[in-house]
Amino acid sequence: MASERLAKIPEVDIDPDGVFKYVLIRVHSKEDDDSSVDIVRGYAWAEYHGQADIYDKVSGDLERAGGVDCECLGGGRIKHDSKAKKIHVYGYSMGFGRANHSVSTEKIKARYPDYEVTWADEGY
């Protein structure tokens, strides 16, 4: 049951264009099977409090739906240019620290297979 519930959660949900903050979240099953999934969420609406706003909304929505707990693994920024089909992941979160951008990038590549997806630890 838990793995089915986790499989229904989209692994990537980001805005279609712009530069915005993002978080990498681990969603844990509350059942005893230790299953989890890492998800990427990034939105331009979260500019002021940034990653905390994204994490609070996403984790709250998922936890209210039941059966899961969430953990923030870190954050950064995403530059998404849909016309050029390019996504660049970089930087860090002041509140959550730097996400493992290589993990985030692999998930984004799976969601956007025809894009050039790159990452760097530099920048804010």
pLDDT of 72-112, one tens digit each?
Answer: 999 999 999 999 999 999 999 999 999 999 999 999 999 99
Q: pTM of the predicted model, to two decimals?
A: 0.93
**Binding positions for substrate:** 21
Instruction: Could you list the beta-strand ranges (E) of 4-111.
Output: 12-14, 18-29, 36-43, 68-81, 86-90
- Asked if 101 is an active-site residue, the reply is no
Q: Please, which pLDDT band fits residue 49 given cuts at 50, 70 and 90? A: low
Q: What DSSP character marks residue 94?
A: T
Rounded to an integer, the average pLDDT of 59-79 is 95
pLDDT of 7-42, one tens digit each?
Answer: 899 999 999 999 999 999 999 998 867 899 999 999
Of 49-53, 64-68, 86-90, 96-100, the least confident: 49-53
Domain 2-119: CATH superfamily is Janus/Ocnus (3.50.20.20)
Q: What's the confidence (pLDDT) of residue 99?
A: 97
Q: What's the confidence (pLDDT) of residue 47?
A: 74
Nearest Cα neighbor of 89 from 55, 123, 52, 39 is 123
Whether 110 contacts 12, CB under 8 Å: yes
Q: Given the residues 28, 49, 80, 88, select the one marked as catalytic.
A: 49
Q: What's the confidence (pLDDT) of residue 46?
A: 87
Nearest Cα neighbor of 101 from 69, 79, 82, 84 is 79
Rounded to an integer, the average pLDDT of 51-76 is 94
Q: What DSSP character marks residue 46?
A: G
The domains of the chain are located at 2-119
**Binding positions:** 21
What tokens appear for 105 in the block?
């990038």
